[in-house]
């Protein structure tokens, strides 16, 4: 038997995973779950498939602990967003290896981390890895849509499969150079996604006689403007404070936070800007379906992101103040996420010690995500300390940000290999975690 490097092993597995089309919808994540199961079982890792419907399985693999120590969950999702082959230089499902990069939909988000996690646990199993607590790898369905087939369902129906004290997921790991210094960001918190709808009522009529009707679309226009101009009272939460302290050397007043960060590097300002308060983005509008009918109803959907620690009720009151004097119906569409794990935790030391090992001059900084990931399910259900961290330094963060959910998505093999190293490091720390 020939032995191949972990780098090649991860690359080969990632190529396989990309070639299995798991665009969600419809998902078909069982294709990936089955492939991972055969790979992991061949390496001596016990696996279980959990599926709400047969074609959308979640895979959970485990190296059981030999004591009653804390458990660590390597979390990932196996579905991807769609890809339009016409926009791509290569077939999005080719998994082609070219110039040290694996190409294809999901390479960054997040089949790369799926493959790296699988190779980490498989290689550790081959080496006879033992820890006091369980090392768990979960490759879940349905993160991109969140229709209840993935981690949400697992946490509700099979909580023992994924219960863990610590979790490493997607959502961080970028290496940023700001003001001449290198920082690796580790996401420890996420804003809540809480879209709402505003409905304005009027009276319909023939469009040729506007005076006879009460046009709901026209009445909605000033509301859209006010919503779009909303600026929340800025505040600096614990994650942003730690980020600013590291990057600027001080924690500026909330009003000065963006300009202080921007003075170090424009990117730092862009990062901080949406993290100081609730943001509102009106994104959808629905009124008349016919050109010649004046609408009696106009519905505006607003994408709203709320800081952790704040509630939908508080935001609803702010919207009421903003739209004071107008008559409308208000309705929440949903409220997901908005959770945080402490920055000061034993898992933080694990991430920091890895960065210190691979790049001693670099600093690890926490980040609040403006979007959200599956991490909130385990934070809410089990109080898990969950961080987003998958280190990337070969690919520039601006390049990666442009490729995620977009054409020509690809990952550097150097980053894939670094990811395997980090996940093995994190698993190795299980023996010393409290």
Give the interface with Zn ion as residue ranges (CB under 5 A): 109-110, 170
Nearest to 171 by CA among 340, 309, 14: 340
What distances in angstroms separate CA 76 from CA 121, 129, 218, 374, 432, one per listed residue? Answer: 13, 21, 45, 8, 24
Least Å distance between CB 388 and Zn ion? 10
**For residues 299 and 371, what is the distance between their CA atoms, to the nearest angstrom?**
24
Cβ of residue 113: shortest distance to Zn ion, in angstroms? 9
| Minimum separation from the CB atom of position 387 to Zn ion (A) | 15
Q: Name the strand (E) or helix (H) holding 213.
A: none
Q: Which residue is nearest to Zn ion (CB)?
A: 109
148 vs 222 by CB, closer to Zn ion? 148
Residue 374 Cβ, how far from Zn ion at the closest point, in Å?
A: 8
**79 counts as catalytic:** yes
Catalytic one among 29, 143, 170, 412?
143
Cα 184 from Cα 205, distance rounded (Å)? 59
Task: Pick the closest to residue 118 from 152, 158, 78 (CA basis).
Answer: 78
> For residues 140 and 280, which CB has a smaller minimum distance to Zn ion in the complex?
140
CA distance 229 to 369: 22
Instruction: Establish whether 143 is a catalytic residue.
Output: yes
d(CA 87, CA 122): 36
State CA 288 to chain mean position distance. 36
Phi, psi of 261, rounded to the nearest 5 degrees: -70, -40
Q: Is the N-terminal amide bond of 107 cis, ω within 30° of 0?
A: no
Closest CB to Zn ion among residues 186, 244: 186
* Minimum separation from the CB atom of position 106 to Zn ion (A): 9
Minimum distance from residue 170 beta carbon to Zn ion (Å): 5
Indicate the burial class of 14 (C-beta count within 10 angstroms; 0-12, 13-18, 19 or more): buried
Listed residue (174, 146, 151, 147) closest to 164, CA to CA: 151
What CA–CA distance (Å, rounded) separates 261 from 10? Answer: 37
- Cα 139 to chain centroid distance, Å, stands at 14
Nearer to Zn ion, 79 or 134 (CB): 79
The catalytic site residues sit at 79, 143
């Amino acid at each position: 038997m020939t032995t191949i490097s972990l780098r090649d092993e991860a690359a080969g597995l990632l190529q396989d995973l990309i070639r299995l089309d798991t665009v969600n919808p419809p998902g078909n994540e069982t294709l990936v779950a089955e492939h991972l199961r055969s790979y992991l079982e061949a390496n001596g890792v016990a696996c279980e498939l959990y599926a709400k419907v047969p074609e959308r399985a979640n895979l959970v693999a485990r190296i059981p602990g030999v004591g009653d120590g804390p458990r660590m969950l390597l979390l990932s999702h196996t579905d991807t967003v769609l890809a339009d082959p016409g926009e791509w230089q290569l077939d999005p499902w080719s998994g082609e290896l070219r110039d040290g990069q694996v190409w294809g939909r999901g390479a960054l988000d997040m089949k790369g981390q799926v493959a790296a996690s699988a190779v980490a646990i498989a290689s550790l199993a081959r080496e006879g890895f033992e820890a006091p607590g369980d090392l768990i790898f979960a490759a879940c369905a349905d993160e991109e849509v969140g229709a209840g087939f993935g981690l949400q369902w697992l946490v509700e129906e099979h909580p023992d499969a994924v219960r863990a004290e610590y979790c490493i997921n997607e959502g961080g790991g970028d290496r940023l150079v700001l003001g001449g210094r290198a920082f690796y960001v580790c996401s420890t918190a996420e804003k809540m996604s809480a879209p709402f709808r505003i409905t304005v009522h009027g009276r319909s009529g023939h469009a040729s006689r506007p005076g006879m009707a009460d046009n709901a679309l026209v009445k909605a226009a000033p509301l859209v403007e006010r919503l779009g101009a909303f600026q929340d009272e800025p505040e600096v939460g614990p994650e942003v404070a730690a980020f600013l302290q590291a990057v600027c050397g001080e924690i500026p007043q909330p009003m000065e936070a963006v300009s202080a960060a921007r003075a170090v590097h424009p990117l730092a300002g862009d990062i901080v800007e949406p993290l100081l308060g609730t943001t509102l983005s009106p994104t959808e509008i629905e009124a008349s379906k016919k050109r010649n009918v004046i609408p009696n109803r106009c519905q505006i959907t607003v994408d709203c992101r709320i800081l952790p620690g704040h509630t939908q009720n508080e935001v609803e009151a702010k919207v009421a103040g903003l739209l004071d004097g107008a008559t409308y119906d208000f309705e929440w569409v949903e409220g997901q996420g908005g959770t945080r794990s402490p920055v000061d935790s034993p898992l933080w030391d694990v991430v920091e010690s890895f960065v210190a090992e691979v790049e001693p001059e670099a600093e690890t900084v926490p980040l609040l995500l403006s979007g959200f990931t599956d991490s909130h399910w385990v934070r809410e259900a089990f109080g898990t300390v969950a961080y987003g961290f998958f280190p990337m330094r070969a690919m520039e963060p601006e390049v990666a940000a442009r490729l995620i959910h977009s054409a020509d998505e690809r990952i550097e093999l150097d980053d894939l290999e670094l990811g395997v190293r980090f996940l093995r490091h994190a698993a190795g720390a299980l023996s010393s975690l409290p």
